[in-house]
């Protein structure tokens, strides 16, 4: 059952579909960080996005910001890594709606 805006915001908001609004604002991509021996792997759900839409910014060798387009909006996540990684090189692969970012440990 769809809820109309009037239920949440009172009179005059009948045309606002609250469920449609929630569909794009509350959901965040699932993220997993794995320590895989000589590297650290970050897995992020990127449904419908390409490899070029995944942007990594290094804060420190143990902390990164990842920006990705997810369900029609740009999502930015700050992640702490289990080990320091080389900031000069990383690899991004996207397959079946999941981005895999591989970092080499220092």
Place of tokens 């839409």: 53
Residue 45 falls within a domain, yes or no?
yes
User: Could you tell me if residue 9 is inside a domain?
Assistant: no
Percent of the chain beyond pLDDT 90? 57
71 within domain boundaries: yes
Q: Identify whether 3 is part of a domain.
A: no
* Stretch 73-99: mean pLDDT: 93
Domain count, the chain: 1
Position 42 in a domain:
yes
Mean pLDDT of the chain: 83
Strand partners, 100: 43, 93
Confidence band for 47, pLDDT divided at 50, 70 and 90 = confident
Least confident stretch, 23-27, 53-57, 66-70: 23-27
What's the CATH code of the domain at 38? 2.60.40.790
Is residue 94 assigned to a domain? yes
8 A C-beta contact, residue 94 and residue 46 = yes
Q: Tell me which residue range forms the domain holding 87.
A: 28-105
- Candidates 100, 66, 65, 61; CA nearest to 83 is 61
Q: pLDDT at residue 76 above 70?
A: yes
User: Model-level pTM?
Assistant: 0.74
């Amino acid at each position: 059952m769809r809820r109309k805006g009037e239920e949440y915001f009172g009179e005059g908001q009948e045309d606002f579909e609250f469920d449609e609004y929630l569909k794009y604002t509350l959901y965040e991509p699932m993220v997993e960080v794995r320590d895989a021996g000589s590297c650290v792997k970050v897995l992020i759900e990127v449904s419908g996005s390409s490899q070029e839409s995944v942007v990594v910014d290094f804060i420190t060798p143990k902390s990164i910001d990842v920006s990705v387009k997810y369900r029609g909006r740009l999502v930015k996540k700050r992640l702490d890594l289990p080990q320091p990684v080389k900031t000069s090189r990383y690899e991004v692969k996207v397959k079946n709606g999941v981005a895999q970012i591989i970092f080499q440990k220092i």
